[in-house]
Structure 1
């Protein structure tokens, strides 16, 4: 393990006896942490699935990054049996230890999400993980409730129960509240970056039990000034 780690960083290193520098020696390259994000969200997946979750990455660069992560002990690969019959990539235990790092980066990054760029890609997995990581249920004694999110043509569901917000991809059969609009409006409201009036001004439609919005307690309200 130590030999593979040394090999992975031998060609590029900050050369500092500091844990932050050592971590960046391994995961500081462009795309590396986004590869970890996709493996956390997708679980074991094929190369093509991983590439589809990383719009803009070149095939050879993804191959190189996966090789480096495997050499560093953060990613494993295995040959899936028929009928899949392909290589599946997964995070190792060390790779999964990046989850709180990605959560902290995601929370920090919310302050830069006020503007939505026209050429930004957007996928349903990114719509689903934000509530799971950054939102809790402010009314733990309240009845279970379901909120449907629809942003940029992508669908996700928030389920409020027992003081927690659970999220998943897809469509709810009978949601209590539907939030639909551009990603900036939907995620901005759910994550506490903007209020309902601002969200509606930039294209949000809220249908159903609007009082459920009071149960969403975004971490961003404490970490990022609302706009």
Structure 2
């Protein structure tokens, strides 16, 4: 591990989590929860297996992650954040917020995974009809997506599950979803830009923010 050799809390923190891929690994574990090595790789396109293994060893040595062997029916080693690692959620949230304005025009060739929206959506969405019955809006699908649940004023954004029936399933180019959920584009406009709603458009409208995340 390389060090800045500075007696400064920011420099010390970057000694541990400033290497390439480390915070994206944290993002995946905050998004997916405890998961297998293969699950991490699927969420980190472009990382080599040996580099991912090296980063995980460093993170484990630094107390950011831990591994746990799960019995059947899982029968696999799961990687999870420690309590100390979970404290990075605020750092990831603020980096997501800071980077939101950079998301409106994706460069050609950039990889994209729908489940990457999970963390920002937890802060972007609101329940605009808290007195109405709960709704679930699915972005993407069971393989790569997330479920947004609005229930009596509370918002949850979780990995997609067969245990939930979606009131609406939404697909769209990523930049359209960014504009929609940051308040820079209305739902009718988004639908002219490639957004497709299978189910209740009202359920999706209920979740949209009143103010732009990118500006706040």
Question: TM-score interval w.r.t. the shorter chain?
Answer: 0.7 to 0.9
Match of residue 205, structure 1, among 196, 209, 213: 196
Does residue 1:42 correspond to 2:61, yes or no? no
| Residue correspondences, number | 213
1:160 positional shift: 1.5
Does residue 1:173 correspond to 2:158, yes or no? no
For residues 212 and 106 of structure 1, the distance between their equivalents in structure 2, rounded to whole angstroms, comes to 25
Are the structure 2 counterparts of residues 32 and 174 from structure 1 closer, same or farther at C-alpha, using a change threshold of 3 Å?
A: closer
Paired residue for 1:216?
207
Secondary structure at 2:60 match in 1: helix
Aligned partners of 1:179 and 1:207 also within 8 Å = yes
Larger radius of gyration: 1
1:184 positional shift: 1.8
For residues 60 and 155 of structure 2, the distance between their equivalents in structure 1, rounded to whole angstroms, comes to 33
For residues 83 and 166 of structure 2, the distance between their equivalents in structure 1, rounded to whole angstroms, comes to 38
Tell me the TM-score normalized by structure 1: 0.78
1:204 positional shift: 1.6
1:158 positional shift: 2.0
Does residue 1:183 correspond to 2:174, yes or no? yes
Note the 1:1-227 alignment, pairs <5 A: 11-81=1-71, 85-150=75-140, 154-168=144-158, 169-170=160-161, 173=165, 175=167, 177-206=168-197, 209-212=200-203, 215-218=206-209, 221=212, 223-224=214-215
Are the structure 2 counterparts of residues 23 and 220 from structure 1 closer, same or farther at C-alpha, using a change threshold of 3 Å?
A: farther
1:84 positional shift: 5.2
The gaps in structure 1 that reach 5 residues or longer are 1-10
For residues 169 and 77 of structure 2, the distance between their equivalents in structure 1, rounded to whole angstroms, comes to 39
Tell me the TM-score normalized by structure 2: 0.82
For residues 146 and 185 of structure 2, the distance between their equivalents in structure 1, rounded to whole angstroms, comes to 19
The gaps in structure 2 that reach 5 residues or longer are none
